Amino acid sequence: MDAASKQELSRLLRDIAADGCAVLLVTHDTELAADCADMCGMLFNGEILNEASPEEMFRENYFYTTPMARLIRGISENK
């Protein structure tokens, strides 16, 4: 998905959530998840391994993010 489409999808999901609807998004796109989720979960082999806010989930998760990406997205302790 290109950047403009991703921004539009993120905006639409936030608007739906702001209207009081629950939104469940399943994605491999951690940037999108970090941008529009209130809570994130990590699934593996059909089981939830971790649940946390996007800030907690991606702050120390070196498997999915780099220190620079976390800093740019504002989820680093070094803001």
Q: Where are the domains of the chain?
A: 3-72
Tokens of 71: 């800093």
- Residue 59, exposed/middle/buried by CB under 10 A (0-12, 13-18, 19+)? middle
pLDDT digits (tens, 9 = 90+) for 34-51: 888 899 988 888 888 889
Per-residue pLDDT tens for 24-33? 999 988 888 8
Q: Which helix (H) or strand (E) holds 33?
A: helix 30-36
pLDDT more than 70, % of the chain: 75
For the entire predicted model, the pTM comes to: 0.64
Structure tokens belonging to residue 27: 């994605």
- The answer to whether 51 touches 40, Cβ cutoff 8 Å, is yes
